[in-house]
Amino acid sequence: QTALVALFEIHHDSIQLRLRLLPSKHQGLEIVNFIDRDRDNAFSDAELNQFGQTVLNTVLLSVGGTVLELKDVKVSTDLPEWLSQGYGQIRIKAKADHAIAQATPTRLEFLIHFDEFAQDWLIQPYFATSLLARDQDPKLQRSAAGVSIVFVAQ
């Protein structure tokens, strides 16, 4: 099965999102065909951007109930020939600007519903080392499609 990984870094002023799709050898060609709309065995910037937006349109990222806009989207990938054989990966990067309030409990929610090739995402948050107060551990609640985190920033 295709491996799906969502990593996000929480900073004082932004959240950096990195998605990775690692095709299995059984789904590699299907994924290549999903991206390569004109079937020329190459990925154009437009095709990669369209794929990135398709995936990101299934993402909900919110802080304190406010839905954040993902911007500065970058999509990169290994060669289609590699992906079709189950090698390589597709990388999607985006960020959301948001100031994290200090000394106040903050709820961050991340959900992703892109399940075209697999349904289980490995979702892992990372906190900037200067963000968390030393005596405050974040509280994570995981679900099938995402994670909810409550933390106090210093």
d(CA 72, CA 67): 16
Length of the chain in residues, anyone?
154
Provide the 3-class DSSP secondary structure of residue 84. Answer: helix
Mean pLDDT rounded to a whole number for the chain: 92
The pLDDT, as a whole number, for residue 104 is: 82
Residue 61's Cβ-side half-sphere holds a number of Cα atoms within 13 Å equal to 24
**And the tokens for 61?**
């990222």
Q: Is the pLDDT of residue 136 over 80?
A: no
**Please, which pLDDT band fits residue 31 given cuts at 50, 70 and 90?**
very high
State pLDDT tens for residues 98-124.
988 888 888 999 999 999 999 889 999
CA torsion sign for 74, 77, 80, 84 is negative
Q: What is the pTM of this model?
A: 0.92
Do 123 and 6 form a contact (C-beta atoms < 8 A)? Answer: yes
Phi then psi for residue 132, to 5 deg, are -85, 140
Q: Is the pLDDT of residue 34 over 90?
A: yes
List, as one string, the DSSP characters of 22-82: E--TTTHHHHHHHH-TT-SSS--HHHHHHHHHHHHTTEEEEETTEEPPPEEEEEEE--HHH
Phi then psi for residue 127, to 5 deg, are -110, 140
> Would you tell me how many other CB atoms lie within 10 Å of the CB of residue 120?
12
State pLDDT tens for residues 46-87.
999 999 999 999 999 999 999 999 999 999 999 999 999 999
Nearest to 88 by CA among 132, 31, 142, 128: 31
